[in-house]
Amino acid sequence: MADYAGRKWRICASEELPDSGLGKRFQAEWAGVPAPGFVVRWHGKVQGYLNACAHIPVELDFNEGDFFDLSRSYLICATHGAYYRPDTGLCLGGPCKGARLTKLVLVEEGGEVFFLPDARTEQDGWR
């Protein structure tokens, strides 16, 4: 992905994302429309999604950047209690079980984390 020719938006420094720790909110774009996004690090890899629960599109974090449950194993919607796999966005329990968060394409280069707004994920038929 390092040779991606589209736009690349800086989110934060890599060191600002501890594994299974607080994430970062950022202004993303989806289908050409501004939308809230977030990024977390899980098992050493950055993961990014639109900040919208798959049940009802409210932002997941009640406290800014706090996307993980108490066990630090799942992403959780603070409003509905839906919980998601951090690597795929698949809802494992709660009111939207089986649905998914909308995954964003990120790249980590040179100690920085970037969002690639023009890229699409496999979930969207990209690749």
SS (H, E, C) the chain: CCCCCCCCEEEEEHHHCCECCCCEEEEEEECCEEEEEEEEEECCEEEEEECCCCCCCCCCCCCCCCCECCCCCCEECCCCCCEECCCCCEEEECCCCCCECCEECEEEECCEEEECCCCCCHHHCCC
Q: What is the pLDDT of residues 36-62, one digit of tens each?
A: 999 999 999 999 999 999 999 899 998
pLDDT value at residue 7: 87
The whole-model pTM stands at 0.89
